Amino acid sequence: MILRYVDIKKEPEVSQHQVCIKESFLGFVPLKETTGAFMTETLVDELQNVGLQIDNLRGQGYDNGSNMKGKHNGVQQRVLDMNPRAFFVPCSAHSLNLVVNDAVKCCLQATIFFGIVHLYNFFSISTHRWQVLVSIMKDLTIKPLSETRWESRIDALKPLRYHLADIYDALLEIYEDTNLKGSSGSSTRVEAKELADAVSKYEFVVSLVTWYNILFEVNITSKHLQDKDADLNSATKQLEATKSYLLSCRCDDGFQKVLVDATEVAQDLEIEPQFEKKQSRKRRKKRLFDYEAHEESLEDPSQTFKVEERFHQLHSYKAIFGFLYDIHGIKNAPNADILHDCQNLEKSLTHNGHHDIDARDLCSELKAVSRRLTKPMLPQAALCFIFEQKLQDSVPNVVIALRILLTLPVSVASGERSFSKLKLIKTYLRSTMLQQRLVGLATISIENEEASNLDLAKLVEKFASLKARKVEL
């Protein structure tokens, strides 16, 4: 388990009263159990060891594992039971990945399509097959499908999207190679023929164009969600744009555009741009009773495209903090609306009779700040403006609200990148490394900017004084 701490700090060495969101690596924590109860207990103990109180926590972010995001026994719910102000925002990038994954699993045609796309396994298993492919495709090469990151599958579909005819020719060349003999050679030729027939169907071409367009859009959104500057507002807007695009693909106009692109690919393959008519015998069911109406199958909830459910919490927190993204426009808004939003925020930041902000004071302070802003500003820019004008003591409620908003996690991508350092540090040559040394090396590597500013000479002197055998009495 990785512990990371996010806060807002002033950086006077950059510019006067400049503020930035600072994320700090606290360390790797070994886990003996992966239950929600044990992980919550470990989390609370580690926070107390570094001097952080659970009551001061205002945001928590994890992936979509059931032991982490579980509504009843997950870590996030157990932390919320101790501190309701510790808002939980599931990783948006991971949620988007699960949305695409669920959509594919719910569609038989999509599952069949991605089963055929595993062409990399067929060509890469043999140097002869790969050489045939490379001799025909000189610009791009096919790539494997990622089993976990669905948005990265765009790299595997790109060669198929624009060089499907070349791949088809490579498969036919392998099939017509009479030098492939024996049991292995015959099976290779048969497999190549089956793949060539599969990719040369117009139904496969339409699926290829459709999923390439979808994953291209998903890839853009996923990269935005993993950006370190992403916030609730930008993440919500990006997801809404992706949702609108997906809805447009499901209409008749969107499908016609796909057919136009698919027809161009079909012409390169020299196949007819027509769907094959599948003739299948209708199954006859014996009816035990003479009902007047036929039974209707129950709706399978797994068939529903669960975009709203996956991002429900992100939208709910956007509704709570959303008015802070347009402080400049508050001066023209009715006082009743602004007070209502402030009271809703105060209620969300209240626990055991203690509240972080006062709704009425926040409403008055926002009005005052909005009159001083010369143009619309994002929350971070507005907070910088407050510090530049030395208004932080006059509008403390606004400062607190903006600090909490800016530190709410949108994704856990930055935290998961710590595993990249872990693989570089904890190698098989360091099999006897203890936990303390591992965390120390990881901290130096991950927080390299802070480490580069340390005075090593003073640290050596301090270390030597602590380890000196002769101590003055």
Lookup: tokens for 145: 């499908």
- What is the per-residue pLDDT across 178-187, written as a single tens digit (0 to 9) for each? 888 888 889 9
Lookup: tokens for 421: 């350092």
- What is the per-residue pLDDT across 182-232, written as a single tens digit (0 to 9) for each? 888 899 999 999 999 999 999 999 999 999 999 999 889 888 888 877 888
Model pTM score: 0.74
Residue listed under structure tokens 């709570």: 320
Q: Which of 155, 137, 138 is nearest to 146 (CA)?
A: 155
Cα angle 13, 14, 17; round to 5: 85
Give residue 154's pLDDT band: very low, low, confident or very high (50, 70, 90): confident
Lookup: tokens for 57: 């926590």
* pLDDT of 150 strictly over 90: no
Contacts of 320 (CB under 8 A, 6+ apart): 344, 345, 348
Average pLDDT over residues 105-123: 87
Task: Measure the CA–CA gap between 470 and 113, rounded to whole angstroms.
Answer: 75
Give residue 467's pLDDT band: very low, low, confident or very high (50, 70, 90): low
- What is the per-residue pLDDT across 383-418, written as a single tens digit (0 to 9) for each? 999 988 888 899 999 999 999 998 888 888 777 777
Residue 237 has a CB neighbour count (10 Å cut-off) of: 12
